[in-house]
């Protein structure tokens, strides 16, 4: 069973939260990049996620002496904030101890960027978290998925299965993002930004 009896100790803790939609039909859609990163961290650390409370799948690892919770909300994307708020309250975490990982259509495919704060910019999962936490100040790791073709809605694009030619790029950035998230645990957002952010203009099309 997953041990979350944190009240018995005072060790440092953080949570890495990947956004996505539960269910096999969504697994390899662009909107599920956050889930894929959590799965990759779990694979590298040889842990299993277990269905637990708080409308989420949980797993836990140790990174440099800190207990880190790997979290995949089961609320579906648009209600991600409900799960995040429950987790934050139960673990008694500060907002800066939550790393939210999400897809970003304003970044080219394969680009990752850390941010310390910011608005939702049209991402419903991020908007839900901001609404529930009542703040825009919490770390997030944005993963570029590119923009839809002319005439295709963003909603359809993010919920569509990735094309074969982009799958390799996405899986490569998922691996990189998993390493970046683990680096963030002990080094913080500012150092993670300096190490992993690539200076590339955001997509405007």
Q: Which residue in 31, 123, 134, 156 is the catalytic one? A: 31
As a whole number of angstroms, the distance between CA 22 and CA 72 comes to 8
Q: HEC string of 14-49?
A: EEEEECCCCCHHHCCEHHHHHHHHHHHHHHHHCCCC
Exposed, middle or buried by CB within 10 Å (0-12, 13-18, 19+), for 199? exposed
As a whole number of angstroms, the distance between CA 172 and CA 168 comes to 6
Q: CB–CB of 139/189 below 8 Å?
A: yes
Helix/strand/coil for 123? coil
Active site residue 123: no
Q: Which residues are tagged catalytic? A: 31
């Amino acid at each position: 069973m997953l041990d979350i009896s944190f009240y018995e100790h005072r060790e440092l803790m953080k949570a890495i939260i990947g956004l996505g939609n539960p269910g096999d039909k969504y697994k390899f859609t662009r909107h599920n990049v956050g889930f894929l990163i959590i799965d990759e961290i779990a694979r590298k650390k040889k842990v299993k996620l277990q269905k637990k409370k708080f409308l989420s799948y949980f797993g836990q690892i140790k990174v440099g002496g800190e207990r880190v919770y790997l979290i995949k909300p089961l609320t579906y994307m648009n209600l991600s904030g409900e799960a995040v708020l429950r987790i934050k309250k139960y673990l008694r975490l500060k907002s800066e101890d939550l790393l939210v990982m999400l897809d970003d259509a304003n970044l080219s495919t394969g680009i990752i960027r850390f941010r310390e704060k910011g608005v939702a910019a049209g991402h419903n999962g991020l908007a839900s978290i901001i609404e529930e936490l009542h703040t825009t100040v919490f770390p997030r790791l944005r993963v570029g998925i590119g923009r839809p073709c002319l005439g295709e809605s963003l909603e359809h694009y993010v919920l569509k299965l990735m094309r074969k030619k982009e799958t390799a790029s996405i899986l490569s950035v998922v691996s990189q993002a998993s390493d970046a998230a683990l680096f963030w645990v002990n080094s913080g957002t500012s150092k993670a930004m300096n190490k992993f952010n690539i200076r590339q203009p955001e997509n405007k099309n």
